[in-house]
Structure 1
Amino acid sequence: MAISNGSDHENGENSIAPSLQTEGAAVEVMDTIMVRPTKPTCRHLMYMSGVDQILAAAGPSRTILFYRGQVDSTAAVKRLEHAIASVLVPYYPMAGRLARDENGRIAIDCNDEGVQIIHARCDLSITDLQGKGFAIQPYFRQLVPMDHLQSSDSSDDALASFQVTAFKDGITLGIAVAHSVADGVAMWNFIKAVSETSRSQPLSIYPLHARYLLKPSVFIPHTVFLSPDSEEGTKTAKVAPYNGCEEPRRESNTNREVLQQRVIHFSREMLDILKKECLNTISNTKAGDFVTSFQALGAYLWKRLAMAQNLDGETGVDFRVAMDVRSRMIPPLTLAFFGNAVVGVPTPSTAGELVTESLGATCARIRRSINQVDDDYIKRALIDRENKDLRKIALSNVQVLTLRNGTGFHVFEAAEFGWGQPEAVRPPFEHREGEMTLYPGKEAKSIDVIVALSEATCKNFFSENLYPNDPLQNSPLLLPA
């Protein structure tokens, strides 16, 4: 397990501990411009689904791409400006602003006000960052816009913002998108469209603006829900209660404890070892069964975190991932669907169960939860979320491991804007212990995990003695923290 020597980072929403500021790492903004569509688009108020409404309580999606080489940042800004202006015609909601409809719900005012581009500079080296495995640094927050926003419901801010920062030997591109407007699939489709246009390539995907397809009043009349006691194929209007638990809310870190930001690189070989171990220890496997890299790695991280936290055996420790449901709905949504088409999928357990069971048993828990996400599950979840305010849901005391899974996005190809592919992709930081982001590594079929841990948990998490039967323990790729 290759671990970068990352800096510590304070766990405050809008502050960085002064002692953690890196000397000479100040980012200076040189220019800010607003980019509007190359031609007027149709102005209207666009409906936002219940999932969009829920995710308005979440902060913007923020990503940093690192490019090494002699790149003219001024020329890069110009290239982006022309490409974004063109792309905002088919992706016109991104040029709008959030507003309220007659019912007080958030909607998109498609008004062509535009997307922001920031041009900045930083007197540091991309090569130096690369030598440290692109470990998370405190100043990363200054490399991507929207750091001041804790939610995605602001009516004053652009829905998307790009920041080009010139380094001594390269640039970074920070991209921020209001989470209420787009999930990961939609965001990366938008980024890919900008990169294709910047290279004078035709768009491979044109967006489908049809958020109303997730509106219960639209799909309920056309959906067959089977009650538990109905005969197979019998149509019924009964809609069973949605049994999935709501997105958890937890208290923020009130004592402002410093969290250790770490990047862990899992090579293809390491992932193969984990998948093999899961298959060997899952009960009742049969020929043709397989385990995905995400399932195996998720089980490994969940199990290791529960061990490192030294929790009481009866403490609830849930695993949660936001699943893209485009292909799981009936009829399926196209990949081009632009909006939030995700459902939070919880996997419950206790700390005692995770510590004592095999890695395969933990993996099987995750698989069962994922496999239950069918059309009925999704539509009941959409009904449940249609008029729910996340901020009015009671706080949960359950410990939660939340994985933001970006491994399915072809980030290196999608982020080729004409100055080469990025060397790495990172979030600016992780907010809380138990939240992790997964991105593809530069090496084929590898995964980079970005995690924040308290000092005590971090020490345990990387201890060689933590996990006696760790399948990676004897791997030559396992490095001490």
Structure 2
Amino acid sequence: MSGSLTFKVHRQKPELISPAKPTPREIKLLSDIDEQEGLRFHIPTIFFYRHSTKASDPVAGIRRALAETLVYYYPFAGRLREGPNRKLSVDCTGEGVLFIEAVANVTLVEFEEKDALKPPFPCFEELLFDVEGSTEVLNTPLMLMQVTRLKCGGFIFATRINHAMSDAAGLSLFLKTMCDFAQGYQAPTVAPVWQRHHLSARIPFLVSHVHREYDEMPVISMENDGKGENMVGRSFFFGHREMSAIRRLLPLNLANSSTDMETLTSFLWRDRTIAIRPNPNKEMRLILIVNARNKLKTAPLSPGYYGNAFAFPVAIARARELTEKPLEFALRLAKEAKSSVTEGYMRSLVNLMVTKGRPSFSSDGAYLVSDVRIFADIGFGIWGKPVYGGIGTAGVADFPGASCCVSAEKINGEKGIIVPVCLPEKAMQRFVKELEAVFSSQFSSNGGKAP
């Protein structure tokens, strides 16, 4: 278990890294998608890199690349302000982002041998130190970075950003620009653009679509909601063998027409619901994250858009239906919710944000799944791509019912998806048994082999 790996981290004092050159002093408005309550928090990511014999000091290189990147992404060097009606803007002060240099008495091989290259990471709070006051949404640095050298010559790069500024795709653009500068480029390969007005409300504020993800819901208690129990975080690996076993639970035509993420997400939703044993009449929700960049045709976003440009469509079913009906039922609901996100849906959504006071999504009975496999491509030059790159925790902020799926490769070369899950202790035990029951029966019926 990853919890058996312990080590010490020695940190230098946090410092502010400002843009390498003078940048405009101005006020920039965020979009109405950026400003919703459910994005007003800081989200952490973490990346592990192997030693390179050709590499110089990673701390100096990353610090320099960060300063160069902030010249082009200068709003990140500013501070968020809140105006009338909770309207957010960035005061582009150029003050900079927080940066921490550290060293740890542990090697990357030790992480691998202890099966610790997955959330929850041992000593995570030491690998991304929470500087006092830095998690506030307003008037604080919008980004925190920590680079930790390892005994083996590798390093850990961890970052935390104010989610109101960017989504996973936007952060990926920022980090890839840092990679460009780390490799000696003189400018970003993809030029960043602000364009937040493209996702802001327009008069008249017409809400033309149903957005059940923002329902104001009466709370129906769960019979076994785990109150008073310890919350447990654990990651699960889904490779070719596991995905094949899940697909055999579906009609062939549906299995062949569904993506890995659609299939896995619906499977997790159903089995997680079985594990938490809710009131059979409770409304259970699967919240999906759908990148809307390719949905906007009338006023398309530039490739360098780094703001939040996604929706939270939701699949809904009573607990009894979800747990008693076959997996096909959950999968069809998930696909229907995903396909509901269109350009009209997004225009309706930004108007809803204004008319409803920028609400948060409804979290009661909800399980949120986000595909952040994009982080596997953050390659820092001669250090190559990360051994692990993705979200650093099971659960997000104050919402444990969230799983951020990342790409993974085992020591034996097997590739797959890692899914961090956070549940009450007894529910986690039941969840593990549900997975074991599915995979053991499927593997044994197929002679222990995947097709």
Q: What is the TM-score normalised by the length of structure 2?
A: 0.85
In 1: Cα distance, 2:360 partner to 2:52 partner: 50
Check whether the contact 1:71–1:419 (CA below 8 A) recurs between aligned residues.
no
Match of residue 198 from structure 2: 213
Check whether the contact 1:402–1:436 (CA below 8 A) recurs between aligned residues.
yes
What displacement does 1:277 show? 4.2
In 2: Cα distance, 1:322 partner to 1:101 partner: 28
In 1: Cα distance, 2:261 partner to 2:131 partner: 29
Residues 343-389 of structure 1: per-residue CA shift (max 9 Å, x gap) = 11111012111112222221111001111111111111111113655
Gaps of 5+ in 1: 8-21, 222-236
Check whether the contact 2:164–2:308 (CA below 8 A) recurs between aligned residues.
yes
Residues 265-313 of structure 1: per-residue CA shift (max 9 Å, x gap) = 111343344346435274xx9xxx6111110000111111011112232
Task: Judging by fraction of residues, say which structure has more helix.
Answer: 2
Partner of residue 261 from structure 2, selected from 276, 294, 312: 294
In 2: Cα distance, 1:247 partner to 1:141 partner: 34
Matched, 1:84 2:57: no
Change (3 A) 1:205 1:472: farther
In 2: Cα distance, 1:348 partner to 1:389 partner: 24
**1:292 alignment partner AA:** T
Partner of residue 352 from structure 1, selected from 281, 305, 320: 320
Match of residue 401 from structure 1: 367
In 2: Cα distance, 1:147 partner to 1:358 partner: 47
Check whether the contact 1:281–1:360 (CA below 8 A) recurs between aligned residues.
no
Residues 318-342 of structure 1: per-residue CA shift (max 9 Å, x gap) = 1002221111123232332121111
Residues 398-451 of structure 1: per-residue CA shift (max 9 Å, x gap) = 3111112212x1x23323243232211243322454321101113676211111
What displacement does 1:195 show? 0.8
Q: What is the TM-score normalised by the length of structure 1?
A: 0.80
What displacement does 1:79 show? 0.4
Within a 5 Å distance, the mapping from 1:165-314 to structure 2 comes to: 165-169=148-152, 170-201=154-185, 203-217=188-202, 240=208, 242-246=210-214, 257-275=229-247, 277-280=249-252, 282=254, 290-314=257-281
Partner of residue 456 from structure 1, selected from 401, 426, 436: 426
Percent identical across equivalent pairs? 20
Check whether the contact 2:208–2:348 (CA below 8 A) recurs between aligned residues.
yes
Gaps of 5+ in 2: none
What displacement does 1:477 show? 8.1
In 2: Cα distance, 1:248 partner to 1:266 partner: 35
- Say which is worse superposed, 294-303 or 28-37, in terms of deviation: 28-37
**1:158 alignment partner AA:** P
Match of residue 50 from structure 2: 68
Match of residue 233 from structure 1: none
Residues 199-256 of structure 1: per-residue CA shift (max 9 Å, x gap) = 1245331111110111112xx68xxxxxxxxxxxxxxx965354332188999x9966
Change (3 A) 1:477 1:79: farther
Match of residue 385 from structure 2: 421
In 2: Cα distance, 1:278 partner to 1:204 partner: 43
Matched, 1:329 2:311: no
Q: Secondary structure at the match of 1:81?
A: helix
**1:65 alignment partner AA:** F
- Say which is worse superposed, 291-300 or 323-332, in terms of deviation: 323-332
Matched, 1:164 2:128: no
Residues 170-225 of structure 1: per-residue CA shift (max 9 Å, x gap) = 321101111011111000110011012101245331111110111112xx68xxxx
Check whether the contact 2:209–2:345 (CA below 8 A) recurs between aligned residues.
no
Within a 5 Å distance, the mapping from 1:44-59 to structure 2 comes to: 44-55=26-37, 58-59=40-41
What displacement does 1:56 show? 6.6
- Say which is worse superposed, 457-466 or 253-262, in terms of deviation: 253-262
Match of residue 113 from structure 2: 131
- Say which is worse superposed, 420-429 or 144-153, in terms of deviation: 144-153
Match of residue 232 from structure 1: none
Residues 100-141 of structure 1: per-residue CA shift (max 9 Å, x gap) = 346652210112111222111222232121123324244112
In 1: Cα distance, 2:49 partner to 2:81 partner: 36
In 2: Cα distance, 1:359 partner to 1:370 partner: 17
Change (3 A) 1:147 1:427: farther
In 2: Cα distance, 1:369 partner to 1:387 partner: 23
Check whether the contact 1:87–1:194 (CA below 8 A) recurs between aligned residues.
yes
Q: Secondary structure at the match of 2:15?
A: strand
In 2: Cα distance, 1:395 partner to 1:413 partner: 32
Match of residue 96 from structure 2: 114
- Say which is worse superposed, 290-299 or 325-334, in terms of deviation: 325-334
Partner of residue 439 from structure 1, selected from 390, 394, 406: 406
Check whether the contact 1:438–1:447 (CA below 8 A) recurs between aligned residues.
yes
Check whether the contact 1:323–1:345 (CA below 8 A) recurs between aligned residues.
yes
In 1: Cα distance, 2:238 partner to 2:438 partner: 19
Matched, 1:34 2:19: no
Change (3 A) 1:395 1:330: closer
In 2: Cα distance, 1:394 partner to 1:291 partner: 26
Within a 5 Å distance, the mapping from 1:351-390 to structure 2 comes to: 351-386=319-354, 388-389=356-357
Check whether the contact 2:271–2:434 (CA below 8 A) recurs between aligned residues.
no
Q: Secondary structure at the match of 2:197?
A: helix
**2:269 alignment partner AA:** W
**1:195 alignment partner AA:** C
In 2: Cα distance, 1:109 partner to 1:387 partner: 25
Change (3 A) 1:177 1:297: same
